[in-house]
A = this chain, B = another copy of it.
Amino acid sequence: MTDEPGEGRRRRGGRGEQGKPKVIEQRPWAQPRLKYAPTAVISEDEVESIHHASLRILHEIGMDFLDADARKMLVDAGAEVETGTERVHFPAELIEQRLAMAPSSFTLHAPNPERNIVLGGNHIAFGSVASAPNVFSMDGGRRVGNREDYQNLIRLTYMLNCVHFLGGYPVEPIDIHASVRHLDATFDAITLSDKPIHAYSLGRQRNQDCLEMMRIVRQVDHETLEREPSIFSIINSSSPLRLDTPMLQGIMEFSSRNQVIVLTPFTLAGAMAPVTMAGALAQQNAEALAGLAFAQVVRPGAPVVYGSFTSNVDMQSGAPAMGTPEYMRAAMAGGQLARRYNIPYRSSNSCAANTVDAQAAYESVFSLWGAVMGGVNMLMHGAGWMEGGLHAGFEKMILDAELLQMVAAFLEPLVVDDDTLAVEAIKEVGPGGHFFGVAHTQERFRTAFHHPMLSDWRNYESWEEAGSPNAYGKANSVWKTLLANYEAPTMDPAIREELETFVAKRKEQGGVPTDF
């Protein structure tokens, strides 16, 4: 550690937002806020019906918790375990009392404090694609994930101002051995970028290692780390109604240290959940409530997020469908449930398309419509998700960044005052005139409207002369421009060395077991 004051400036080497070279046209970093009323697709009575159905499910049917420590903690808190099984039955009061302990809003700390994000209230944060096994670019085709692609996708999320956090590994770096992958991958995530990060819950040691690396990069002591949530983990239930061992250990590790748990059931209606959307939502809600209540048993007041990922399968093929009308309504109803519990809400920008065509765009925008008007606080897979999550796309990341920027601009207030109503300018121009030349226009036109990074608004003739480019091809050139101009965030060499030493030591110790 140096004794130079101001963490932000120390890490940035004194270069603020203004210091960065402007590589492409994009909005400055900022968290959008939803100042419009979220869309309610069901009534308050119907929200209560889903809530009560969930409580019945958790009480009458119960849920399998595949960890003895977790079950013991729940029994101590008032739950019942069926003798000789892993099935936990929850009294309604246990759920309701514990849920009431969760904070409605908190800050997730980033390696660079200027990139801290607020989760909750009307704040929105957009995350990168996460957890894709494959990666695709127009030039390289579809391939299994590797560290080089992993690093490049992190570089892009760092450079795209509209991406606020890393949702996980944008693509799985398969070429790093599983026993040490979390060490190298986290090192990359916090040295190539400066935004908040995720840790996978795949055994206690991984959670601990990643958290320690965040402590080192933030240069804070353990007490500060425990006061300031600095990492999050997505906990997926195994629908229907099961929480597996590493997921439960993840909750215990992170909630006990006041880090962020995002509990997201993946309830595909017709497959792992009822074919009816209300039933899929009731099951989603039951699973989420059980996991969230458990986090509050581990540590009352620990920061948690209510995650929703209810969609449907195509009943002909069994393929998951994304960005569908069902998905939109489920995203909105999920937001209503999260708000009922006064807990931050997570949804996703999803699509099932195989290529960056009109389908990829419309499924993503419909997903965003559902998520944003559903009151999302934390948008996972915001940029780069393709093929129902089976590949991360370089071109899709740019397309999505354009969509996220447009959503952010849409969420800006439409200012109505004497100045913007412009009656004097209208008088000056008069019937039959035009506004190009008047002072009211000249004073404002440079910043009046959203500037696209991808949309092509040339007239047909100019566009045709330029070779009839489409958005897919343009996205390819945008990410290449970004990567060509990438500069890593500056970091005190002493911090980097401390990180490297930690990674080397943990590798010497053999990393982590990979037996599941």
B333, B358, B410, B449: which contacts A361 (Cβ < 8 A)?
B358
**Are B359 and A360 neighbours in the complex by a CB distance under 8 Å?**
no
Number of copies: 2
For chain A residues 360-403, which have a beta carbon within 8 Å of chain B?
A: 360-366, 369, 373, 387, 390-391, 399, 402-403
Q: Does A275 contact B (CB under 8 A)?
A: yes
A446 interface neighbour in B64, B315, B369, B402, Cβ under 8 Å: B315
Instruction: Determine the chain B residues whose CB is within 8 A of the CB of A10 once the complex forms.
Output: none
Q: What are the residues of chain B within 8 A of A403 when measuring CB–CB?
A: 362
Closest to A475 in B: B358
A505 interface residue (CB < 8 Å to B): no
Q: Given A278-B417, A315-B446, is A435 in contact with B362 using a C-beta cutoff of 8 Å? A: no
Would you call A427 an interface residue if the criterion is a C-beta within 8 Å of the partner chain's C-beta atoms? yes
Chain B residues within an 8 Å CB radius of A319:
457-459
| Chain B residue at minimum C-beta to C-beta distance from A321 | B457
Set of chain B residues within 8 Å of A435, measured between Cβ atoms: 240, 270-275
Residues of chain B within 8 A of A475, CB atoms compared: 358
Q: What total of chain A residues lie within 8 Å of the partner, measured CB to CB?
A: 120
Interface residues of A in 401-440 (CB under 8 A from B): 402-403, 406-407, 409-410, 412, 414-417, 419-423, 425-427, 429-436, 440
**B457 and A61 contact, CB distance less than 8 A:** no
Query: Are B278's CB and A325's CB within 8 A?
Result: no
0/1 interface trace, chain A 268-309, chain B, CB 8 Å (1 if under) = 011111111111001100100000000000000000000000
A30 to chain B, nearest CB (A): 14
Bound-state Cα–Cα, A472 to B40, Å: 34
- Complex contact B60–A359 (CB within 8 A): no
User: Contact between B60 and A427 (Cβ–Cβ < 8 Å)?
Assistant: yes
Taking CB atoms and an 8 Å cut-off, the chain A residues in 340-363 that contact chain B are 352-363
- Nearest CB in chain B to that of A396: its residue: B358
Cα of A426 to Cα of B56 in the assembled complex, Å: 11
The stretch among A46-54, A102-110, A186-194, A207-215 that forms the contact with chain B is A46-54
User: Is there a chain B Cβ closer than 8 Å to A41's Cβ?
Assistant: yes
Q: Is the CB of B448 within 8 A of A276?
A: yes
- Whether A422 and B279, one on each chain, are in contact in the complex, defined by CB atoms closer than 8 angstroms, is yes
A interface, CB within 8 angstroms of B: 36-37, 39-42, 46, 49-50, 53, 56-57, 60-64, 87, 142, 238, 240-242, 269-279, 282-283, 286, 312, 314-315, 317, 319, 321, 324-326, 328-329, 333, 352-366, 369, 373, 387, 390-391, 399, 402-403, 406-407, 409-410, 412, 414-417, 419-423, 425-427, 429-436, 440-441, 444-446, 448-450, 452, 454-460, 463-464, 468, 470-472, 475
Closest 3 CB pairs of A and B: A279-B422, A325-B409, A274-B422
